[in-house]
Each structure stands twice: as C-alpha cells, then as structure tokens.
Structure 1
Amino acid sequence: MKGWGANLGRDLRERKKALLTAIQALDLRADTVGLSPDEWLSRYDLEDQLSIIYTDEEAYWRLRGSHKWVLKGDANTAYFQAIANGLRRRNTIPLLWDGPSLLHSPSDIRTHVDGFYRSLFSASPRSGLSLALDCWSGRQLVSAAENAALTAPFSEDEVWAAIRGMNPSSAPGPDGLP
C-alpha cells in the first residue's frame, strides 16, 4: 500500500518536471534568438498546464491538512506538510488487539472495526424484560402525530441541509482524504 501511495504522485511530478524543462528551454530560446508567436502561445499553454498542476497539489494538501491551517495565501510549506502528515499518522490505527490476538493487517483491522460497529448498532434479540404499560403518563407519552413525524422518511432537503451543515474536512476517509 505504501509503495502504491509513493508512486501515486510520480506521474504528476514527472509531468511537472517536463513542463518546467520545456518552459526553461523556451525562455532560453527567447533570450538568445527570440520566439515566434506560435512558440509564445506554446509557452503560455505550458504555463497554464503547470498552473493547473500547482492548483491540484494545493487542493490535495488542503484536504490532507485541516481547514484551520490553510488560509488564503498560505504557502504549501514543509511545515504545513509535516502538520498534514502528522494528522494522518495520528488518525491511523497501525495495530489493534482483538482479545488475545494482535491485528497487523489494515484489512483485518478494518474487518474487526466494521464487525464491532455492526454488532453494536444492530438490533439485539428482545429479552424477557419490558417496561410496565403505565410507566409514562399523559404528557410524557409520544402522540401518534409525534410518532409519525419521528418515523417519517428523510426528505431530500433534510439530507442536503445535514450535508451542508457538516465540516467538509473533519474526518478522513479510507484513502486519508475527507
């Protein structure tokens, strides 16, 4: 997994290096001989492609870090990257005990955590215990109208309101990005 992650940005780094080399070659040619209008257009196109790569890198690090660290105009510095990588390490579970056994593999850890929360939030079989029918009275009872409102399916507007109300970079997903 680490090898895949290390190679993930390699193509982008190589593309950025090739763009910078091409721009430098055109700049050197502009200083010595001069450039034709088509060559100037080519140089501007290369700059645009490089700008897109820089924007994508900045967006990547903004997602890796926290919105508290990235303000408009902040540089993508080594300090910021160290903070972002520290957040990733802090939110990672490298080992997990499952009773007497120690889980090392990320897939085993994921399976264990998934099973734990599935069992935690699944309905358990009813036991012989129950509340007395007269436990609550009058105003304490949920009316039929309140029960209908509580058990009604979510509307699309309610779902979108909940999504818009969430912090967009609060919890990393399986790939480390929110």
Structure 2
Amino acid sequence: MHAFHEAISDCALQDLGWRGVPFTCDNRQQGNMNVKARLDRAFANADFLQMFEFSIVKHISSVESDHCFLLAECRATAAMGWSRATQSFRYENVWQSHADYDEKVRKMWQSGAGQGGLQGIVDALSMVQSELGAWGHKEFWNMERRVRKLQKRLERLRTAAIGCGPNDEERVVASQLREALRQEEIWLKQRSRVLWLHAGDRNTSYFQAQARQRKRINRITSLELADGHVSSDPGEVKEEITHFYHALYQSQGYNPMEGLLQCVQPRVTDDMNYTLEREYTAADVKIALFDMAPSKAPGVDGFTAGFYQRHWDGGRYHFGYLEFFERRRITFGTE
C-alpha cells in the first residue's frame, strides 16, 4: 500500500472523488464479519482536469458482484441548473507587483477617509474596494494569455536573430515575460493556499494543480438533506443550506450559569488576569496582524491579511482598531 501511495504521488494523480454509496466493495458477510471499503478509485492528472474540470465519478451498486461499478463522466462544463454566484470583491496579492499600485491605493484611501477612527477606516476601505477591483481586473486580466503572447513573440525574435546576439527588443520582451511569469505564479499561489512553498521558483504548475484540486473539493454538486435523501437539484441544495444556517444561528434561549461556575476552580492568577485586562497597544495589533498568513481566506470585505501588512505604516489602521478595543463597540462593515 505504501508503494501504491508513492506511485500516485510520483505521477501527480488526484482522486476524482465519488457520488453514491460511500464504498465500492462489500464482502456480503453477516454481523461483525461484514466489511465495506472504498477500494476502487478514479484518478486523473492535472492536464486531464484542465480539459474536464467538472468530471464526476459515480458508485453504481451491483447485485452480481461484491464490487460497485465505477462510472466516470468526463465533463468540460458544469451541469445544467447550476449558476455561478455573483463575483464578490477579492483582493489579489499580485496587484502589489504593479509599479503604480501603492500610489493608486494611497489616492483611493485619501479620497475615502473623511473621518477618523474606525468609521474612517470603514469608509476608506469601501472606497478602495469599489475602485481597486476594477483597476486590478483591467491591469491583470487573463495573465495566462499574456504569458503565451510574450512567449510566442520572444520565440519569433530569437528565431529571426539566429547568428547574432540578442537585440534591445529581445531583451525588453524577455524582461516582460519574466515579470509576467512571476505575476502569474503569485496569482496561482494565492489560489492554491500553499503556505510552505514560496513564489519565485517557477512553481506555477504545482500551484495550478493545487488550486484546481481545492476548487474541486470546495465545489458543492450534491447534498444530503435532513431526511437522508441526497439531492443534486440546485434549488433544493440552496434551500437546505439556508435552512441549516438559519437553525444554527437561531437563539436557543439562555440558561443561568452562576450555579455551574461556583463549582469551577479558578485557574487564572492575578498576574495572568492583569495581562489579559491591560490596554492593547499598537504593537499588539501589529504582532497579531503579521502573525497571519498573508494569502489565507479573506474577511467579509474581501481583503486578505496581506493587504494590511503591505500598507501598515504605524498609524493608518491601528488607531481605529484600538478605538474598538477601548469602546467595546464595533462599526458595521468592519467584521
């Protein structure tokens, strides 16, 4: 089994998942002797998934064999009925590589920050959010296509320059291609959520494969409803998700805890309590911010920790958040 896993890893194959019963083999024995396991699987490499991104594998029960049939449906497009959700703002780390990025953000921030404190941060972030997304889409739209065009252009120049050294145009195109490849790698790394591998070493293929695998894992195509029925109908799935979270966050009432707390022995010393209750400082906010991974999932405003880390200047953000800790009151939009 260890050798099998090594072979899967060496070939860079990815499990395509499954639908149907959660096993492919049933030994048909009674009682404690019964064994069910998912022994049969379907794998594919990154090139296959790029061509058939929406492929699915179904487990089909058999009455003649102790193994299920595996039916692989190779799909290049999503099934009918599933519509793409409205694209919300998402901050892209690759925007930071643009020469005009810092100046653009500074002007957007100044035009939106009419107030001080936490409310001023909310207004400024709203302004940056409304303008930065459109600017980023314009400047970095379809980076893969830009890389391909630059590669073809460089090949033509080098083919035409056989017998002589590189000219100025070839050097410029090579520099542009190098930068385009770096930007593409940053963009893919953010989607792959790989934290241990750094951009800059031409890990584009790896990041692309990881991002595609994450997208497959996170895609919801069917859901087990409350009655145990598995549904692939988009309307039923959305209704079930809405009902689940409505019930999850609904108030269940309040029970006094004083009697229970009297039985709990205190473990927090006076010194520990003093540390916990002391006023927060700008240094505390900075330490907490820079301890975060810059490319992890963004907040509800679409900004990652990398945005705040990039623009931390010792005074732009932390005064607003210190105001929150002092007043114990949060402004809508800063969650």
Partner of 2:285 in structure 1? 159
Instruction: Confirm or deny that 1:51 pairs with 2:178.
Output: yes
Instruction: Confirm or deny that 1:87 pairs with 2:218.
Output: no
3-state SS of 2:153 partner = helix
Q: CA deviation at 1:158?
A: 1.9
Q: CA deviation at 1:22?
A: 2.5
Q: How many residues are paired up?
A: 162
Instruction: Confirm or deny that 1:15 pairs with 2:146.
Output: yes
**Residues of 1 paired with 2:267 and 2:207: CA distance?**
54
3-state SS of 1:31 partner = coil
Residues 147 and 10 of structure 1, relative CA distance in 2, 3 Å threshold: closer
Partner of 1:40 in structure 2? 167
Q: How do residues 1-178 of structure 1 correspond to structure 2 at under 5 angstroms?
A: 1=84, 11-31=142-162, 40-65=167-192, 66-69=194-197, 73=201, 75-77=203-205, 81-96=208-223, 99=226, 104=234, 119=249, 126-127=254-255, 129-131=256-258, 135=262, 140=266, 150=276, 154-169=280-295, 171-173=296-298
**Residues of 2 paired with 1:25 and 1:72: CA distance?**
26
3-state SS of 2:262 partner = coil
CA contact (8 A) 1:96 1:104 kept: no
- Give ranges in structure 2 of 5+ residues lacking alignment: 1-83, 88-136, 306-335
CA contact (8 A) 2:185 2:200 kept: no
* Larger helix percent: 1
RMSD of the TM alignment (CA)?
5.0
Residues 80 and 145 of structure 1, relative CA distance in 2, 3 Å threshold: closer
**Residues of 1 paired with 2:190 and 2:203: CA distance?**
14
Identical residues among aligned pairs (%): 17
TM-score normalised by length of structure 2: 0.34
3-state SS of 2:195 partner = coil
Partner of 2:125 in structure 1? none
Q: CA deviation at 1:24?
A: 2.6
Residues 68 and 144 of structure 1, relative CA distance in 2, 3 Å threshold: closer
